[in-house]
A and B are shown apart, each in its own frame.
Chain A
C-alpha cells in the first residue's frame, strides 16, 4: 500500500468518489460495552457486570461517510455514541494477550447509533443495535504504523466526548484497568 501511495498521480479526485465504510464487507462486527468498572460507576443507574456486555452488529446498520443516518419509523429513540473501532487485519484463534495487537490492522471511529427502546425488548441488545443505517462509520481507517499504542487514543476520546472518565475506558492496553 505504501508503494501504491507514492509517486504516481491520483487517478481521480476526491470529489469524484463515493466513500464506502472503510471495511466494506466485514466478517463480523463485535461490540463490547460496560467493561470498565470506574467508568460504569459514572453512569446513572448502571452497575458493573461480572463479564462485559457483548453484542453483534451487522454491516448494514452503519452508513458510510456522507450517507444519511436513518431514524426508523418504529421508534423516536435514536441515540448516538462515539466509539473506537478496532479493525482486525489478521485472522486467528486462541490468540495470546501479548500477540493481540499484531492482529490489528488499524482503527476507525463509529457513531454507534442505537434505538434505545428496542434495546430493552427481550434480553438482547441486538434489536436496538441493527436498524438499517442507524449508525455511521468514519471514512478513514488509520493503520497501526501511525498508532502503535492505541492507549494513546484515550486522551483524544475523552476530549471529544467531554467525559474525562472515558479516558479509562479507552486505556485498554492496561489490564489492571479492565473489569473482566
Chain B
C-alpha cells in the first residue's frame, strides 16, 4: 500500500492518500497525533 500525507488546499485539514487513487480526508485522526 502506498500512503501519503496531505492537506487540502484552502482548508486546515490533513489526511492520507491511499494507493495514488483514493484520497481520504482523515483530518480528525491526523489532528489527534
Q: Are B6's CB and A11's CB within 8 A?
A: no
Q: Are B23's CB and A17's CB within 8 A?
A: yes
Contact flag A140-B2 (CB < 8 Å), given A16-B9, A17-B8, A25-B33: yes
User: Contact flags (1/0) for A1-33 with B, using CB distance below 8 Å?
Assistant: 110110010111110111111111100000000
Q: Are B18's CB and A5's CB within 8 A?
A: yes
Q: Which positions 1-33 of chain B face chain A at CB distance < 8 Å?
A: 1-9, 14-26, 33
Output the least CB separation between A75 and chain B (Å): 30
Contact flag A13-B5 (CB < 8 Å), given A1-B16, A20-B14, A25-B33: no
CA distance A139 to B23 in the complex (A): 13
Residue of B nearest to A13 (CB): B23
CA distance A74 to B28 in the complex (A): 41
Contact flag A19-B23 (CB < 8 Å), given A14-B17, A145-B1: no
Contact flag A139-B9 (CB < 8 Å), given A4-B24, A11-B24: no
List chain A residues, Cβ under 8 A from B6. 17-20
Q: Are A5's CB and B19's CB within 8 A?
A: yes
List chain A residues, Cβ under 8 A from B23. 10-14, 16-17
Output the least CB separation between A152 and chain B (Å): 16
Output the least CB separation between B5 and chain A (Å): 4
Q: Are B24's CB and A139's CB within 8 A?
A: no
Output the least CB separation between A94 and chain B (Å): 26
List chain A residues, Cβ under 8 A from B21. 10
Q: Are A2's CB and B25's CB within 8 A?
A: no
Contact residue among A11, A20, A140 (Cβ-Cβ distance under 8 Å from B7): A20
| A→B interface (CB under 8 Å) | 1-2, 4-5, 8, 10-14, 16-25, 65, 106, 139-143, 145-146
| B→A interface (CB under 8 Å) | 1-9, 14-26, 33
Nearest first, the 6 closest Cβ-Cβ pairs linking A and B are A5-B18, A17-B6, A20-B5, A140-B2, A139-B4, A10-B23
